[in-house]
Amino acid sequence: MTATPTRWAGAAWRTGDPVGDRQFAAVGEIALERGGFLPDVTVAYETWGTLAPDGGNAVLVEHALTGDSHVVGPAGPGHPTDGWWPGLIGPGAPLDTDRFFVVASNVLGGCQGTSGPASDAPDGRPWGGRFPYITIRDQVGVEAALADALGIRRWHTVLGGSMGGMRALEWAATYPHRVERALVLASTAAASANQVAWCQPQLLAIRSDPDYADGDYYDTGRAPLTGLGIARRIAHTTYRHDSELDDRFGRRPRAGEDPLGGGGRYDVESYLDHHAEKLARRFDPNSYVVLTEAMNSHDVGRDRGGVAAALRAFPGTLHVAGVTTDRLYPLRLSEEMVRMRPDTALTVVESGHGHDGFLVETEQVGAVIRAVTRPG
C-alpha cells in the first residue's frame, strides 16, 4: 500500500497565501448554538454574475464536506483543484449568470479561507484543538451574516448536495422568510444512525494518529495525514455504489503487484489510496473532524417540534433530489421529506455512481436546477 505522506504541507489556506478568486468578509462575533461564541469570524467566498438593484436574483450554492467556495473555475494559485461542479455556473448555464448573482462561501470550520481550526485565535496562535464544537445551524448563521454584509435580504434559491443540502434545508428552517426556494440534493433532514456510524471510524482514525496531537499540530511540522487518509478511504467507499466498484475494478490486482504474495494491492485499493493522497494535499484534518461532527449534529427538527413541523413551517418552495444508488443518503430519505411535507417536489437522479451521482450527473442535476429556478 502506498503510504500517505506525513509531513505537513500546509493544506489549509492561510493569510499570505495566493487569494485566487476568493473575496473575504469580516462578519464579527458569532454566537454558537451550544453556547459560547467565535470572535472576529472571516468568511471566504466567490461570486459570479451581478447582484440586481433589488437583490432579488441572489443564489447561494452550498458545498459538501471537502468542498469549498471554488465551485467552478480552473486550478491555479490559491486553488489546488478545478471547481467541484463544472458547467453549472456561467452565461447560459443552469445557474445562468446573465440572470443570477451566484454566491458560494467556504463553510465555518473549513480550511479554505473561512474561520476554522487553522485560523488564528485571538492569541495569535492557530485555534487547533481549541476550535469550538459547531453545528450545521451555526454554519448557516455565519452564511446569514455574509448575506447581510453583501446586502442580500432574501435568496432567490439556496441549493446544495450532501452537507450542502443540510445547510440548504437549515436555511429554509432557520430563516424561512429569507429563502424563496431551497433545493436539497442527495441529503437528509436529520443525520441517521447509519451515517453517524460511518463517521465514527473516520473520526477515530484521525484522532488516533500519533501526529494529531489533540489537534495542535500546526507548529510541529507534521499532521495526522495517515489518519486523514484512512478516514477518506472509509468515506469514499460510502460515496460510490458497490456495483460500480465491482464493474470498474473487479478483483484485478494493481499492475505489477501481487496481492496474494503479500504487500501487493488490488486495483480498488490503489483507487482508494489515490483519493486519500489527493485529499491530504488540499484539506486540513482538523477541519475534517469539525465538519464531520457538524454533519452528525444535523437535525432540522431539533427544538422545532420535529422534522415534519420544521419542513411545513417553510413557506417557500422546497425541492429535493435523491440519487438511485446512494447508499450514504439513500433515496428513501428524500422520499420521507416529501411524505412529511406533501407539497415538496421530488426528482430522482438516475446514476450508477452512488452518492457522488449529485456531482457526476451534471446534466440531470442541471435540469433540476433549471426547473427549480425557472421564472414564474
Residue 326 appears among annotated catalytic residues: yes
Residue 162 appears among annotated catalytic residues: yes
Helix axes 225-239, 267-280, angle to 10 degrees: 120
Q: How many C-alpha atoms does 344 have within 13 Å on its Cβ side? A: 27
> Could you tell me which of 169, 132, 198, 197 has the C-alpha nearest to residue 316?
169
Widest pairwise Cα distance in the chain: 68
Q: Which of 69, 105, 162, 351 is catalytic?
A: 162
Handedness of CA 173, 179, 180, 183 (dihedral sign): negative
- CA distances 177 to 154, 157, 249, Å, are 7, 12, 48
Tell me how far apart the alpha carbons of residues 79 and 19 are, in angstroms, rounded to a whole number.
8
The answer to whether the CB of 49 falls within 8 A of the CB of 56 is: no
Q: Which of 326, 334, 351, 353 is catalytic?
A: 326
The answer to whether the CB of 247 falls within 8 A of the CB of 149 is: no
Residues 6+ apart with CB under 8 A from 66: 279, 282, 283, 288
Tell me how far apart the alpha carbons of residues 361 and 288 are, in angstroms, rounded to a whole number.
25
- CA distances 53 to 96, 168, 190, Å, are 17, 24, 36
Residues 6+ apart with CB under 8 A from 53: none
- CA distances 208 to 51, 91, 272, Å, are 47, 47, 20
Burial string for 312-335 (b: 16+ CB within 10 Å, else e) reads bebebbbbbbbbebbbbbbbebbe
Query: What are the DSSP calls for 309-374, one per residue?
Result: HHHHT--SEEEEEEETT-SSS-HHHHHHHHHHSTT-EEEEEP-SSGGGHHHH-HHHHHHHHHHHH-
Residue 148 appears among annotated catalytic residues: no
Residues tagged active-site: 162, 326, 355
